[in-house]
């Protein structure tokens, strides 16, 4: 049976990938996760119940431990998703982003190189290292155009700068050492099990509780939205069939302004959980995020033509599934709102920490 290590596998995108690999592809998965605030073991419970998924609580920055773990587990692939990922948190506390996203990626690449160098024959030919990144490394688009794999990097936030650095490390380890690396860059993900600091789950939960729905600036910033299960399928495909040393962009072709997203959530909730007043009345415009990129949009043509991937969910179908999941799973999100993150504004310049 194929064995895969997934770093950050108890987080949002990582757990969707783990569930896909175990439940759909039938492989064995070792989840490596530090279990920080955004990780949740409940996210991988369906995979663990099969007996083909195990959690190892560890820090990817511990290179010696990663080297020992990879040697012991002898995986066919390493899918590296562990990262600090929230732009607002990177503004108020950039240190953790540099530590995890840059140093942690270096640690994983070196540990993987040590293991791969020891392999021979088919095992060495079969091994792959997938580095999972973001479209935010490309910076901001104007009203027209799309991000391509050849778009120059122009990161705006500490988060995107840390991910850009990690992308460059991954490519360098392939070019310098021959490590069989593939890189992916994705647009904004949404779906079940999304920690409620990000726009869509935050708005869903605030709206359910009758709280203000904060929209940065005029709400005109545009994002390309990708349903997380579609992304998980893409990552499995890229890791197995992507050309070594290449980058593949993953996007849903679902551009929406932030205001349109918030309004769509309000409308969906008004249908699924009606109240006497429209939830659009809760929309509140707040001071914009520092360095807020205006528009992201991914061209996924390379992934679609080379590997045959297609997004299955439109924004409308994916959003309805997402809203319904949060309505059906208060047992998952209520403890987080009470004890981990209650929805307060993050990333204000007055909150900057060394």
| CA pair distance 301, 304, nearest whole angstrom | 5
SS3 at position 299: coil
Radius of gyration of the chain (CA): 20
Task: Give Cβ neighbours of residue 41 (< 8 Å, ≥ 6 apart).
Answer: 10, 35, 55
Helical ranges in the chain per DSSP H? 12-19, 45-48, 63-73, 87-92, 95-97, 104-118, 121-126, 158-177, 199-208, 228-241, 258-272, 301-307, 315-328, 330-339
State whether the Cα torsion 248-254-256-262 is positive or negative: negative
> Residue 258 corresponds to which tokens in the numbers above?
């932030």
Alpha-carbon distances of 241 from 117, 209, 236, 248, 254, rounded to whole Å: 21, 45, 9, 11, 25
Name the helix (H) or strand (E) containing 77. strand 77-80
CB atoms within 10 A of CB 306: 15
Residues designated as active site: 135-136, 159
Cα–Cα distance, 183 to 181 (Å, whole number): 7
The rounded Cα 230 to chain-centroid distance in angstroms is: 12
């Amino acid at each position: 049976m194929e064995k895969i290590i997934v770093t950050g596998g108890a987080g949002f995108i990582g757990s969707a990938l783990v569930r896909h690999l175990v439940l759909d592809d039938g492989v064995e998965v070792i989840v490596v996760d530090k279990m920080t605030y955004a990780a949740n073991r409940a996210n991988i419970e369906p995979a663990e119940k099969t007996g083909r998924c195990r959690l190892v609580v560890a820090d990817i920055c511990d290179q010696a431990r990663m080297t020992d773990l990879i040697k012991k587990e002898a995986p066919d692939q390493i899918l590296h998703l562990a990262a600090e990922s929230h732009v607002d948190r990177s503004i108020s506390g950039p240190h953790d982003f540099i530590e995890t996203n840059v140093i942690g990626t270096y640690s994983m690449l070196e540990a993987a190189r040590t293991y791969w160098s020891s392999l021979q024959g088919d095992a060495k030919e079969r091994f792959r290292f997938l580095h999972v990144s973001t479209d935010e490394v490309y910076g901001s688009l104007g009203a027209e155009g799309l991000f391509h794999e050849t778009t120059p990097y122009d990161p705006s936030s500490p988060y995107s700068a840390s991910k850009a650095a990690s992308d460059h490390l991954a490519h360098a380890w392939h070019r310098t050492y021959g490590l069989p690396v593939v890189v992916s860059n994705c647009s904004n993900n949404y779906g079940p099990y999304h920690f409620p600091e990000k726009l869509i789950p935050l708005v869903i939960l605030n709206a359910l509780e009758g709280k203000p729905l904060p929209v940065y600036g005029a709400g005109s910033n545009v994002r390309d939205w990708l349903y997380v299960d579609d992304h998980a399928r893409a990552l499995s495909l890229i890791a197995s069939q992507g050309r070594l040393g290449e980058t593949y962009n993953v996007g849903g072709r679902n551009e929406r302004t932030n205001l349109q997203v918030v309004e769509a959530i309000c409308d969906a909730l008004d249908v699924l959980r009606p109240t006497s007043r429209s939830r659009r009345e809760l929309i509140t415009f707040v001071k914009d995020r520092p360095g807020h990129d205006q528009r992201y949009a991914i061209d996924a043509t390379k992934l679609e033509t080379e590997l045959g991937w297609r997004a299955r969910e439109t924004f409308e179908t994916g959003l309805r599934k997402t809203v319904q999941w949060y309505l059906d799973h208060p047992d998952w999100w209520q403890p987080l709102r009470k004890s981990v993150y209650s929805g307060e504004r993050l990333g204000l310049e007055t909150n900057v920490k060394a």
